[in-house]
Structure 1
Protein backbone atom coordinates (compact mmCIF):
# COMPACT_ATOMS: atom_id res chain seq x y z
CA UNK A 1 0.00 0.00 0.00
CA UNK A 2 1.20 3.48 -0.89
CA UNK A 3 0.28 6.88 0.51
CA UNK A 4 -0.27 9.68 -2.00
CA UNK A 5 1.20 12.98 -0.73
CA UNK A 6 -0.16 16.08 -2.51
CA UNK A 7 1.47 19.48 -1.95
CA UNK A 8 2.32 22.34 -4.32
CA UNK A 9 5.41 23.16 -2.22
CA UNK A 10 8.06 20.60 -3.29
CA UNK A 11 9.99 20.91 -0.01
CA UNK A 12 6.86 20.43 2.13
CA UNK A 13 5.81 17.49 -0.06
CA UNK A 14 9.22 15.86 0.35
CA UNK A 15 9.23 16.46 4.12
CA UNK A 16 5.76 14.92 4.55
CA UNK A 17 6.74 11.92 2.42
CA UNK A 18 9.95 11.49 4.44
CA UNK A 19 7.99 11.54 7.73
CA UNK A 20 5.70 8.81 6.39
CA UNK A 21 8.58 6.75 4.99
CA UNK A 22 10.39 7.00 8.33
CA UNK A 23 7.27 5.39 9.86
CA UNK A 24 7.47 2.52 7.37
CA UNK A 25 5.06 3.66 4.65
CA UNK A 26 5.73 3.84 0.92
CA UNK A 27 4.80 7.17 -0.67
CA UNK A 28 4.01 8.65 -4.06
CA UNK A 29 4.11 12.42 -4.54
CA UNK A 30 2.03 14.86 -6.59
CA UNK A 31 2.39 18.64 -6.96
CA UNK A 32 -1.32 19.41 -7.33
CA UNK A 33 -4.77 17.86 -7.47
CA UNK A 34 -4.59 17.19 -11.21
CA UNK A 35 -1.30 15.29 -10.91
CA UNK A 36 -2.73 13.45 -7.90
CA UNK A 37 -5.77 12.41 -9.96
CA UNK A 38 -3.41 11.02 -12.63
CA UNK A 39 -1.52 9.06 -9.94
CA UNK A 40 -4.80 7.65 -8.60
CA UNK A 41 -5.85 6.62 -12.11
CA UNK A 42 -2.55 4.87 -12.85
CA UNK A 43 -1.74 3.24 -9.48
CA UNK A 44 -4.01 0.70 -7.80
CA UNK A 45 -1.72 0.49 -4.78
CA UNK A 46 -2.66 3.86 -3.24
CA UNK A 47 -4.51 3.31 0.02
CA UNK A 48 -4.57 6.78 1.59
CA UNK A 49 -4.21 10.44 0.56
CA UNK A 50 -2.42 13.18 2.52
CA UNK A 51 -3.07 16.58 0.93
CA UNK A 52 -2.09 20.16 1.63
CA UNK A 53 -5.00 22.55 2.14
CA UNK A 54 -3.72 25.64 0.34
CA UNK A 55 -2.87 24.86 -3.29
CA UNK A 56 -3.50 26.87 -6.46
CA UNK A 57 -6.49 26.04 -8.70
CA UNK A 58 -7.98 23.31 -6.48
CA UNK A 59 -7.44 23.43 -2.70
CA UNK A 60 -7.40 20.36 -0.46
CA UNK A 61 -11.10 20.49 0.47
CA UNK A 62 -12.14 20.94 -3.18
CA UNK A 63 -9.88 18.01 -4.10
CA UNK A 64 -11.53 15.82 -1.44
CA UNK A 65 -15.01 16.82 -2.60
CA UNK A 66 -14.06 16.13 -6.23
CA UNK A 67 -12.79 12.65 -5.32
CA UNK A 68 -15.92 11.83 -3.31
CA UNK A 69 -18.12 12.93 -6.27
CA UNK A 70 -16.11 10.50 -8.44
CA UNK A 71 -16.74 7.68 -5.97
CA UNK A 72 -13.19 7.58 -4.55
CA UNK A 73 -13.53 6.60 -0.89
CA UNK A 74 -9.86 6.37 0.14
CA UNK A 75 -9.03 7.76 3.60
CA UNK A 76 -8.09 11.47 3.28
CA UNK A 77 -5.94 13.52 5.66
CA UNK A 78 -5.63 17.28 5.18
CA UNK A 79 -2.56 19.28 6.25
CA UNK A 80 -2.61 23.02 6.83
CA UNK A 81 -0.23 25.72 8.01
CA UNK A 82 -3.17 27.37 9.79
CA UNK A 83 -4.92 26.19 12.93
CA UNK A 84 -7.47 23.59 11.80
CA UNK A 85 -10.91 25.20 11.54
CA UNK A 86 -13.81 23.37 13.21
CA UNK A 87 -15.94 23.71 10.07
CA UNK A 88 -13.21 22.02 8.01
CA UNK A 89 -13.12 19.16 10.53
CA UNK A 90 -16.82 18.50 9.76
CA UNK A 91 -16.18 17.96 6.02
CA UNK A 92 -17.75 14.64 4.96
CA UNK A 93 -15.11 12.05 4.08
CA UNK A 94 -12.26 13.85 5.86
CA UNK A 95 -10.42 11.55 8.28
CA UNK A 96 -8.24 14.24 9.89
CA UNK A 97 -7.10 17.84 9.53
CA UNK A 98 -3.66 18.44 10.99
CA UNK A 99 -1.56 21.53 11.47
CA UNK A 100 1.91 21.54 9.94
CA UNK A 101 3.84 22.12 13.16
CA UNK A 102 6.57 20.61 15.32
CA UNK A 103 4.18 17.84 16.41
CA UNK A 104 3.39 16.73 12.83
CA UNK A 105 5.58 13.61 13.00
CA UNK A 106 3.49 12.12 15.81
CA UNK A 107 0.10 13.58 14.85
CA UNK A 108 0.45 12.43 11.23
CA UNK A 109 1.53 8.94 12.25
CA UNK A 110 -1.45 8.63 14.61
CA UNK A 111 -3.89 10.00 12.02
CA UNK A 112 -2.63 7.57 9.35
CA UNK A 113 -2.95 4.62 11.73
CA UNK A 114 -6.49 5.66 12.69
CA UNK A 115 -7.52 6.29 9.07
CA UNK A 116 -6.22 2.93 7.89
CA UNK A 117 -7.74 1.01 10.80
CA UNK A 118 -10.98 3.00 10.98
Structure 2
Protein backbone atom coordinates (compact mmCIF):
# COMPACT_ATOMS: atom_id res chain seq x y z
CA UNK A 1 0.00 0.00 0.00
CA UNK A 2 1.42 3.34 -1.03
CA UNK A 3 1.10 6.48 1.08
CA UNK A 4 1.95 10.10 0.41
CA UNK A 5 2.90 12.02 3.56
CA UNK A 6 3.11 15.82 3.70
CA UNK A 7 4.87 17.04 6.85
CA UNK A 8 7.64 19.61 7.31
CA UNK A 9 9.25 17.63 10.14
CA UNK A 10 11.89 15.73 8.18
CA UNK A 11 13.11 13.69 11.15
CA UNK A 12 9.58 12.57 11.99
CA UNK A 13 8.88 11.66 8.34
CA UNK A 14 11.99 9.51 8.21
CA UNK A 15 11.04 7.63 11.37
CA UNK A 16 7.45 7.27 10.18
CA UNK A 17 8.51 5.94 6.78
CA UNK A 18 10.79 3.33 8.34
CA UNK A 19 8.16 2.13 10.81
CA UNK A 20 5.39 1.98 8.20
CA UNK A 21 7.68 0.06 5.83
CA UNK A 22 7.88 -2.71 8.44
CA UNK A 23 4.09 -2.99 8.16
CA UNK A 24 4.02 -3.23 4.37
CA UNK A 25 3.53 0.44 3.49
CA UNK A 26 5.53 2.39 0.93
CA UNK A 27 5.87 6.07 1.84
CA UNK A 28 6.68 9.06 -0.36
CA UNK A 29 7.22 12.13 1.83
CA UNK A 30 7.04 15.83 0.94
CA UNK A 31 8.09 18.74 3.20
CA UNK A 32 5.44 21.17 1.95
CA UNK A 33 2.38 21.60 -0.25
CA UNK A 34 4.27 23.08 -3.19
CA UNK A 35 6.66 20.15 -3.64
CA UNK A 36 3.76 17.75 -3.34
CA UNK A 37 1.70 19.57 -5.98
CA UNK A 38 4.68 19.65 -8.33
CA UNK A 39 4.72 15.84 -8.18
CA UNK A 40 0.95 15.50 -8.65
CA UNK A 41 1.24 12.69 -11.24
CA UNK A 42 3.23 10.57 -8.81
CA UNK A 43 0.88 11.45 -5.96
CA UNK A 44 -2.15 10.33 -7.99
CA UNK A 45 -0.80 6.75 -8.03
CA UNK A 46 -0.91 6.49 -4.22
CA UNK A 47 -3.59 4.77 -2.15
CA UNK A 48 -3.93 7.48 0.50
CA UNK A 49 -2.60 10.92 1.50
CA UNK A 50 -1.51 11.75 5.05
CA UNK A 51 -1.38 15.45 5.95
CA UNK A 52 -0.06 17.42 8.88
CA UNK A 53 -2.31 20.27 9.97
CA UNK A 54 0.24 23.08 9.83
CA UNK A 55 2.43 23.28 6.73
CA UNK A 56 4.85 25.96 5.50
CA UNK A 57 2.91 28.90 4.00
CA UNK A 58 -0.40 27.00 4.14
CA UNK A 59 -2.30 24.33 6.07
CA UNK A 60 -3.76 20.89 5.44
CA UNK A 61 -7.29 22.17 4.82
CA UNK A 62 -6.14 24.55 2.08
CA UNK A 63 -4.05 21.78 0.51
CA UNK A 64 -7.14 19.56 0.44
CA UNK A 65 -8.98 22.27 -1.49
CA UNK A 66 -6.16 22.55 -4.02
CA UNK A 67 -6.12 18.79 -4.54
CA UNK A 68 -9.86 18.74 -5.16
CA UNK A 69 -9.56 21.57 -7.69
CA UNK A 70 -7.03 19.42 -9.55
CA UNK A 71 -9.43 16.50 -9.58
CA UNK A 72 -7.53 14.34 -7.09
CA UNK A 73 -9.99 12.36 -4.98
CA UNK A 74 -7.72 10.09 -2.94
CA UNK A 75 -8.74 9.52 0.70
CA UNK A 76 -7.00 11.93 3.07
CA UNK A 77 -6.06 11.36 6.70
CA UNK A 78 -4.79 14.05 9.06
CA UNK A 79 -1.88 12.98 11.29
CA UNK A 80 -1.11 15.84 13.63
CA UNK A 81 -0.35 17.05 17.13
CA UNK A 82 -3.38 19.37 16.89
CA UNK A 83 -5.80 17.05 18.66
CA UNK A 84 -8.52 19.57 19.54
CA UNK A 85 -12.05 18.52 18.61
CA UNK A 86 -12.49 21.74 16.64
CA UNK A 87 -9.60 20.78 14.33
CA UNK A 88 -10.94 17.26 13.90
CA UNK A 89 -14.45 18.50 13.11
CA UNK A 90 -13.13 20.95 10.52
CA UNK A 91 -11.00 18.28 8.83
CA UNK A 92 -13.88 15.80 8.62
CA UNK A 93 -16.23 18.53 7.40
CA UNK A 94 -13.89 19.20 4.47
CA UNK A 95 -13.74 15.54 3.47
CA UNK A 96 -10.94 13.91 5.47
CA UNK A 97 -11.64 10.25 6.21
CA UNK A 98 -9.85 10.23 9.57
CA UNK A 99 -8.06 12.49 12.04
CA UNK A 100 -5.29 10.85 14.10
CA UNK A 101 -3.21 12.23 16.93
CA UNK A 102 0.51 11.54 16.43
CA UNK A 103 0.73 10.62 20.09
CA UNK A 104 -1.42 7.50 19.52
CA UNK A 105 1.62 5.59 18.21
CA UNK A 106 2.41 3.48 15.16
CA UNK A 107 0.21 0.47 16.02
CA UNK A 108 -2.98 2.56 16.16
CA UNK A 109 -1.93 4.50 13.06
CA UNK A 110 -1.36 1.32 11.03
CA UNK A 111 -4.69 -0.15 12.13
CA UNK A 112 -6.65 2.96 11.20
CA UNK A 113 -4.85 3.45 7.89
CA UNK A 114 -5.78 -0.09 6.87
CA UNK A 115 -9.39 0.60 7.77
CA UNK A 116 -9.67 3.59 5.46
CA UNK A 117 -7.55 2.50 2.48
CA UNK A 118 -10.00 1.24 -0.16
CA UNK A 119 -9.76 -2.47 -0.85
CA UNK A 120 -8.95 -2.98 -4.50
CA UNK A 121 -10.90 -5.78 -6.11
CA UNK A 122 -8.61 -8.21 -7.89
CA UNK A 123 -8.61 -7.85 -11.63
CA UNK A 124 -10.31 -10.73 -13.34
CA UNK A 125 -7.86 -13.17 -14.79
CA UNK A 126 -7.87 -13.22 -18.52
CA UNK A 127 -7.93 -16.74 -19.85
CA UNK A 128 -5.05 -17.70 -22.10
CA UNK A 129 -6.17 -18.05 -25.70
CA UNK A 130 -4.44 -20.15 -28.33
CA UNK A 131 -5.30 -18.94 -31.81
CA UNK A 132 -4.48 -21.04 -34.88
CA UNK A 133 -6.20 -19.72 -37.98
CA UNK A 134 -9.95 -20.08 -37.46
CA UNK A 135 -9.41 -22.13 -34.31
CA UNK A 136 -9.56 -20.56 -30.84
CA UNK A 137 -8.63 -22.86 -27.97
CA UNK A 138 -9.05 -22.00 -24.27
CA UNK A 139 -7.16 -24.57 -22.17
CA UNK A 140 -8.38 -23.42 -18.74
CA UNK A 141 -12.08 -23.77 -19.57
CA UNK A 142 -11.59 -26.61 -22.10
CA UNK A 143 -13.50 -24.71 -24.78
CA UNK A 144 -12.89 -24.61 -28.52
CA UNK A 145 -14.41 -22.34 -31.13
CA UNK A 146 -14.07 -22.35 -34.90
CA UNK A 147 -14.54 -19.08 -36.73
CA UNK A 148 -15.98 -17.65 -33.46
CA UNK A 149 -18.58 -20.44 -33.22
CA UNK A 150 -18.41 -22.68 -30.15
CA UNK A 151 -17.63 -26.30 -31.03
CA UNK A 152 -19.39 -28.32 -28.36
CA UNK A 153 -16.68 -30.87 -27.65
CA UNK A 154 -16.69 -33.24 -24.71
CA UNK A 155 -13.73 -33.00 -22.35
CA UNK A 156 -12.13 -36.06 -23.96
CA UNK A 157 -12.60 -34.61 -27.45
CA UNK A 158 -11.09 -31.34 -26.27
CA UNK A 159 -8.01 -33.19 -25.02
CA UNK A 160 -7.53 -34.78 -28.44
CA UNK A 161 -7.82 -31.43 -30.25
CA UNK A 162 -5.50 -29.81 -27.72
CA UNK A 163 -2.92 -32.55 -28.29
CA UNK A 164 -3.08 -32.25 -32.08
CA UNK A 165 -2.88 -28.44 -32.03
CA UNK A 166 0.01 -28.47 -29.54
CA UNK A 167 1.92 -30.48 -32.16
CA UNK A 168 0.80 -28.37 -35.09
CA UNK A 169 2.10 -29.77 -38.36
CA UNK A 170 3.43 -32.94 -36.70
CA UNK A 171 2.00 -36.43 -37.01
CA UNK A 172 0.56 -37.77 -33.75
CA UNK A 173 0.25 -41.54 -33.38
CA UNK A 174 -2.93 -43.45 -32.62
CA UNK A 175 -1.31 -44.63 -29.39
CA UNK A 176 -0.44 -41.13 -28.20
CA UNK A 177 -3.93 -39.87 -28.97
CA UNK A 178 -5.48 -42.76 -27.08
CA UNK A 179 -3.13 -42.32 -24.13
CA UNK A 180 -4.20 -38.68 -23.74
CA UNK A 181 -7.75 -39.93 -23.11
CA UNK A 182 -6.77 -42.49 -20.48
CA UNK A 183 -3.17 -43.07 -19.43
CA UNK A 184 -0.01 -44.28 -21.04
CA UNK A 185 -0.27 -47.97 -22.01
CA UNK A 186 -4.02 -48.28 -21.35
CA UNK A 187 -5.36 -51.39 -23.11
CA UNK A 188 -8.82 -51.45 -24.72
CA UNK A 189 -10.55 -52.72 -27.82
CA UNK A 190 -10.16 -56.01 -29.62
CA UNK A 191 -6.60 -57.22 -30.12
CA UNK A 192 -3.25 -55.50 -29.60
CA UNK A 193 -4.18 -52.54 -31.81
CA UNK A 194 -7.87 -52.43 -30.96
CA UNK A 195 -7.50 -48.92 -29.55
CA UNK A 196 -7.12 -47.60 -33.11
CA UNK A 197 -10.85 -48.13 -33.71
CA UNK A 198 -11.63 -46.07 -30.62
CA UNK A 199 -9.39 -43.25 -31.86
CA UNK A 200 -10.94 -43.33 -35.34
CA UNK A 201 -14.42 -43.11 -33.81
CA UNK A 202 -13.39 -40.17 -31.62
CA UNK A 203 -11.80 -38.32 -34.54
CA UNK A 204 -14.91 -38.95 -36.64
CA UNK A 205 -17.12 -37.35 -33.96
CA UNK A 206 -14.74 -34.40 -33.64
CA UNK A 207 -14.72 -33.83 -37.40
CA UNK A 208 -18.50 -33.95 -37.53
CA UNK A 209 -18.77 -31.28 -34.84
CA UNK A 210 -16.34 -28.98 -36.65
CA UNK A 211 -18.09 -29.63 -39.98
CA UNK A 212 -21.38 -28.59 -38.39
CA UNK A 213 -19.74 -25.17 -37.87
CA UNK A 214 -17.96 -25.17 -41.22
CA UNK A 215 -18.68 -27.72 -43.98
CA UNK A 216 -15.24 -26.93 -45.46
CA UNK A 217 -13.38 -28.03 -42.31
CA UNK A 218 -10.34 -30.13 -43.28
CA UNK A 219 -7.82 -29.34 -40.53
CA UNK A 220 -7.53 -32.90 -39.18
CA UNK A 221 -5.79 -35.16 -41.67
CA UNK A 222 -5.13 -38.88 -41.40
CA UNK A 223 -1.66 -40.36 -41.83
CA UNK A 224 -2.42 -43.96 -42.85
CA UNK A 225 -1.36 -46.65 -40.38
CA UNK A 226 0.14 -44.07 -38.01
CA UNK A 227 -2.26 -41.42 -36.73
CA UNK A 228 -3.43 -37.86 -37.39
CA UNK A 229 -2.10 -34.36 -37.93
CA UNK A 230 -3.58 -30.88 -37.39
CA UNK A 231 -2.47 -29.39 -40.66
CA UNK A 232 -3.94 -25.92 -40.56
CA UNK A 233 -6.45 -23.73 -38.73
Aligned-residue offset at 1:117: 3.0
Q: Is the 8 A contact 1:53 1:78 kept in 2?
A: yes
Normalised by the length of structure 1, the TM-score is 0.85
Aligned-residue offset at 1:38: 2.0
Cα distance in 2 for residues equivalent to 1:107 and 1:39: 29
Change (3 A) 1:15 1:38: same
Match of 2:156 in 1: none
What is the DSSP-based 3-state SS (H/G/I as helix, E as strand, rest coil) of the residue aligned with 1:90? helix
Q: Is the 8 A contact 1:76 1:94 kept in 2?
A: yes
User: Which shifted more, 62-71 or 80-89?
Assistant: 80-89
What is the DSSP-based 3-state SS (H/G/I as helix, E as strand, rest coil) of the residue aligned with 1:46? coil
Cα distance in 2 for residues equivalent to 1:84 and 1:115: 21
Q: How does 1:1-118 map to 2 (within 5 A)?
A: 1-42=1-42, 44-86=44-86, 87-101=89-103, 103-117=104-118
Cα distance in 1 for residues equivalent to 2:69 and 2:92: 17
**1:1-44 superposed Cα distances (whole Å, 9 cap, x missing partner):** 52111111101211222232121111111110111112222455
What is the DSSP-based 3-state SS (H/G/I as helix, E as strand, rest coil) of the residue aligned with 2:39? helix
Q: Is the 8 A contact 1:79 1:98 kept in 2?
A: yes
Structure with the bigger RCO (C-alpha within 8 Å, sep 6+) is 1
- Structure 2: any 5+ residue segments left out of the alignment? 120-233
- Structure 1: any 5+ residue segments left out of the alignment? none
Whose Rg is larger?
2
User: How many equivalent pairs are there?
Assistant: 117
Q: How big is the alpha-carbon RMSD for the aligned residues of Structure 1 and Structure 2?
A: 1.9
